[in-house]
Structure 1
């Protein structure tokens, strides 16, 4: 039954996408972030996401929306990074091994560029935020229910055969969308929606703790700390976080507490030291191939890893770090572009947030800039311990920041043009009063 419902709903979305390409983009985002087809066993294996992507791109071209394509610093860096990954793949130490990861990453970056370009107004902007939050939030709500029903005895994980299957990945993904939940809550006009989002936030926190992931727990602490530092209502936030987290942590079994206690004993943890070995191998591969790296995820190949460090190759596991994954796969140049992308997105959001008191900028833009900063910091720290560089979720946040910068720039130009027009009119009517509120 779920297969039929999914197929009918997808068909309706694609029908609407033929005329309205952004509907196709939202459907694409839903399939990418939530992967509903993975839970519909009758259509498992059917490339619905490829069909959706194809229809969306075709509609985007036919509708001539592509003529509105505008370069901005973030979009330019995404395209530059995609180009460098292409160069890296050409010089890969094992092209066959790195090809699937290259293909996946390029498709993800194409989707993100379209998100940045097609999000052209507030309605589309908030629709994409809602799609992101609901997609991850639904899985988080299920995870919270699982934690309560099992009394926290088992780890919460995402859907199988997805990038969020791993409990560490899933927990950090949920932590990344926590700021977006607050943004939507402030945007919501109806009390019932605000209350519902508050419940979703609480369930998401429970799900993060239920993953029993040390990296996800650190991300949650980073979120709370950064949110507390940037907020004016420090006492209220501290009280709210304590009321939510203390009972949840007390509810968890002793093994959860024991596991979190090992965070300060990383050098004695075999799993962590295996990651350190992988980091060293990725660094050495990048040092040996400074411009192009070894090719995406080629450090996982024992023969390639052993060529630079035979001893560590026997103990090394996956790098579990977005930074070392990119470093080993695309070299120092690839990492430099990647870090530039993250930094540009963060500071773009920071600049927009800093203008929240500017009457010429709508309040919702400043609010999103504020919460997007927190989201970037949470993922940036959480990603240091996970292989999530190809996850679409944080890249959607970056695309939203890019869209927001363009919307702000466009409105600034319109405001400047309107002000210049009023000033010109004042020469003809000297007694006229010019007020920016008229803009």
Structure 2
């Protein structure tokens, strides 16, 4: 029955995609983030992602969405990084090992690039953001219920056979989603939606604690610290956090407290030392192959690791940065960090540029919360191999399109703000609208 329901939903969505192309991208994103095919039987044997992607791109082509695509700094870095992953695979120390992760990462980046190209207005941006929030909100609510039922004694894990299955991964992903819940709450007009997002926000924090993940706890602390720095009500937030933290910690089991206390003794923790071993192996592989690296995730295997290090056990890189460094070399890491850094700067620029706008202030708010989301994820990802998680890449994609969305066509009361908006609209028309008119005339 679940197979039939899933296939019927996909068929209806693909029919709608033929008329409204962005529905196909949302369906693709849902499959990428939520992996519903893992919960069915025979339908999981069908390459549904390929079918959805093919129909979506066909609809983009026939509706002229491709002609509206424009490159900018973030998308250029993404294309360079995606290309370099292919080059690194061709120069891999073991192509049989790097083929599957490279292909999987490139598929994720293709989806993210599609988001960059066709998310051209506020409605589409919010639709994709809501999709991400609904998926992560489901994981947060589920984790909260599990943690409460187990009285904090259980170990909350993500969905099996997905990148978020590991308790560290799901915890860090939820921490990076917290700013997005707050942004959508601020944009919501209905009280019921606002209260629902507030509930999901609180439940996600409970779920993070229920993962018993030290990396997720650090991410939660980073989120709280950065949010506090951005807030204008610092004293109130500090008092509220102090009041809520004491009973929360007291209700959690002793094993949770003991595990978090090991953060201070990382140098003596065996798990942390295992991560250090993986970082050293990837660092040495990058020094031996500085341009292209050793191939994505080849460092996991003993016969590759032993080429540079005889005394440390090979294992997962446990860091998105060392993962990319060992797999794609210093050039690949430069493109990868360039993509993240360019996105953060663009979000910061949007926050500053639109903070005094009356109707376009949502861009400033989104820029602020997107920055916090990226910072939270990047700190947490210091200790996990989740560079292929689509969530933070979608945030990067949505940041990249802020400059392509036409300003709201309303007049501001402030003459200085109104003059700036007039200049922005003129630049937008010169860059996008007129180029499309010329292309249409040429046809």
Q: TM-score, normalised by structure 1?
A: 0.91
Q: Is the 8 A contact 2:350 2:364 kept in 1?
A: yes
CA-CA distance at 1:230 after TM superposition: 1.1
Deviations 1:116-138 (A, max 9, x none): 11111111111111000001110
Aligned to 1:272: 272
Aligned to 2:92: 92
For 1:413 and 1:24, locate their aligned partners in 2 and report how far apart those are by CA, in whole Å.
36
Match of 1:376 among 374, 377, 386: 374
Q: Which runs of 5+ in 2 are unaligned?
A: 410-418, 428-443
Q: Is the 8 A contact 1:72 1:406 kept in 2?
A: no
Deviations 1:336-358 (A, max 9, x none): 11111111111110111112333
1:161 aligns with 2:161: yes
Aligned to 2:391: 393
For 1:415 and 1:147, locate their aligned partners in 2 and report how far apart those are by CA, in whole Å.
52
CA-CA distance at 1:57 after TM superposition: 1.4
Aligned to 1:436: none
CA-CA distance at 1:417 after TM superposition: 7.5
Q: Is the 8 A contact 2:301 2:315 kept in 1?
A: no
SS at the partner of 2:192? helix
Residues 251-262 of structure 1 mapped to structure 2, 5 A cutoff: 251-262=251-262
CA-CA distance at 1:162 after TM superposition: 0.2
Aligned to 2:221: 221
Cα pair distance change 1:61/1:99, threshold 3 Å: same
For 1:243 and 1:355, locate their aligned partners in 2 and report how far apart those are by CA, in whole Å.
36
For 2:252 and 2:235, locate their aligned partners in 1 and report how far apart those are by CA, in whole Å.
26
Residues 163-312 of structure 1 mapped to structure 2, 5 A cutoff: 163-312=163-312
Aligned to 1:415: 422
Residues 42-191 of structure 1 mapped to structure 2, 5 A cutoff: 42-191=42-191
For 2:394 and 2:139, locate their aligned partners in 1 and report how far apart those are by CA, in whole Å.
18
For 1:68 and 1:127, locate their aligned partners in 2 and report how far apart those are by CA, in whole Å.
19
For 1:228 and 1:11, locate their aligned partners in 2 and report how far apart those are by CA, in whole Å.
46
CA-CA distance at 1:21 after TM superposition: 1.2
For 2:59 and 2:425, locate their aligned partners in 1 and report how far apart those are by CA, in whole Å.
34
For 1:247 and 1:192, locate their aligned partners in 2 and report how far apart those are by CA, in whole Å.
28
Q: Is the 8 A contact 1:209 1:249 kept in 2?
A: no
> How many residue pairs were aligned?
418
Q: Which runs of 5+ in 1 are unaligned?
A: 421-439
Q: Is the 8 A contact 1:275 1:316 kept in 2?
A: no
Match of 2:320 among 319, 322, 341: 322
Q: TM-score, normalised by structure 2?
A: 0.91
CA-CA distance at 1:318 after TM superposition: 1.1
Aligned to 2:17: 17
Q: Is the 8 A contact 1:89 1:95 kept in 2?
A: yes
Aligned to 2:434: none
Aligned to 2:337: 339
CA-CA distance at 1:241 after TM superposition: 3.3
1:366 aligns with 2:351: no
Cα pair distance change 1:3/1:248, threshold 3 Å: farther
CA-CA distance at 1:416 after TM superposition: 2.0
CA-CA distance at 1:406 after TM superposition: 2.3
Q: Is the 8 A contact 1:175 1:216 kept in 2?
A: yes
1:356 aligns with 2:354: yes
Q: Which moved more, 1:368-377 or 1:135-144?
A: 135-144
Aligned to 1:423: none
Q: Is the 8 A contact 1:155 1:211 kept in 2?
A: yes
For 2:424 and 2:285, locate their aligned partners in 1 and report how far apart those are by CA, in whole Å.
53
Deviations 1:153-201 (A, max 9, x none): 2111111000000000000001111000000000000011100000000
CA-CA distance at 1:43 after TM superposition: 2.6
